[in-house]
Amino acid sequence: MSWGDDNGNKGPWGGSPWGKTPPPRGNGGRRFEPPPNFDFEVLIKKIQVWLRGKSGSSGSGKGSYGKKQISIFIAIILLLWLGSGFYRVQPDEQGVVLRFGEFVKITQPGLNYHIPFPVESALTPKVTKVNKVEIGFRSSANTATNVARDVVEESLMLTGDENIVNIDFAVFWVIKNAGYYLFNIQRPEATVKAVAESAMREVIGRSNIQSVFTEGRFTVEKETHSLIQAILDQYNSGIEITQVKMQKADPPDQVIDAFRDVQAARADLERQRNEAEAYANDVIPRARGKAEEVLQQAEGYKQKVIAEAEGIASRFLAVQEEYAKAPDVTRQRIFLETMESVFGDMQKVIVDSQAGSGVIPYLPLPELQKKNEDANE
């Protein structure tokens, strides 16, 4: 049997071991895989038949030439086999090398090499792709309508104060370790979904219904994220949770109207409480300011009275001291000062008895009364 025939084939098996041109390795040089019907025994038998034919046609004198051809052929086959171990890992992938089906190592993006098939093989899963798991709802395939279908058996959960809530949330995750991801868990998406639902039920079971609906949503998301990651790390799953996002947190549909009425009543109560606090914050400072003003006035009056009393006492002591030195002079002085103070504020008319013998006394009562009123004002 020769390499060529009438059909132009280039080998004893008709161009290639599987009867046609070997398929190219796609996706940038991934691992070499033989065709499904590839049989090494048939290949070896065809090579042996071809070699026997070549050696028979060459004769005894050309044995060395036949051996040389065999050596070249074996070298080419060996080089092709060794060259099939090169493979490329894309930037969004990790290379996982298997040796006889057992995980050996992880390779980074770029051109890498492994011992060719069947000793080693390489897998290249995408590790930067963000995967999404929906719990409690299913998104619609029609993006135009964007209507989600509620899954009641997943969304209904019991809170710590024994109320039922309807929780819809999504979990986003990526592959952190491709080796663990491929060989430690069988169904990654189902595992993430089961762990996420269990973790959310545990966190909701420790929370009150009011906090779940209001300011506690962020805390629920954070605690659920940490709990899911801790459980997956215990499994050595090779999965990293990037985000837990609550889509909806409402009471069950059967009681949602009553719950909204309760929420409205609580809002009214909170509004009235805020109004009362605002009124108190307005009145109390003004009352405190008025009280402080009265206290300051009383303190000023107190200081004034004390100062006047001390001044009177000082003047009395000074007069007493002068009286002890000259009693008559001091007595006359006190009399004159007293008369001056008494007559100084009086309206009076002085008439000489000698010069006014023919004068009719006149007492201007209206004018005196007017002057007194002006003085009092």
> Whole-angstrom Cα distance, residue 17 to residue 127?
35
Alpha-carbon radius of gyration of the chain:
55
Structure confidence by residue, pLDDT tens digits, 197-221? 999 999 999 888 888 887 888 889 9
By mean pLDDT, which of 150-154, 282-286, 322-326, 346-350 is the weakest? Answer: 346-350
Q: Can you give the pLDDT at residue 253?
A: 74
Q: How confident is the model at residue 302 (pLDDT cuts 50, 70, 90)?
A: very high
Q: What is the pTM of this model?
A: 0.49
Q: Where are the beta strands (DSSP E) in the chain?
A: 86-89, 95-99, 102-107, 110-113, 120-123, 131-135, 137-138, 149-150, 156-158, 164-175, 239-250
Task: Assess whether pLDDT exceeds 90 at residue 171.
Answer: yes
By mean pLDDT, which of 36-45, 84-93, 309-318, 325-334 is the weakest? Answer: 36-45
Task: Assess whether pLDDT exceeds 50 at residue 136.
Answer: yes
CB 121 within 8 A of CB 108: no
Q: Can you give the pLDDT at residue 144?
A: 56
Q: Can you give the pLDDT at residue 66?
A: 63
Task: Assess whether pLDDT exceeds 90 at residue 230.
Answer: yes
Mean pLDDT over 85-98 rounds to 74
Q: How confident is the model at residue 196 (pLDDT cuts 50, 70, 90)?
A: very high
Mean pLDDT over 9-35 rounds to 40
Other C-beta atoms lying within 10 Å of the C-beta of residue 119 = 11
Mean pLDDT over 305-311 rounds to 92
Which range, 88-97, 254-263, 329-338, has the best average confidence (pLDDT)? Answer: 329-338
Q: How confident is the model at residue 13 (pLDDT cuts 50, 70, 90)?
A: very low
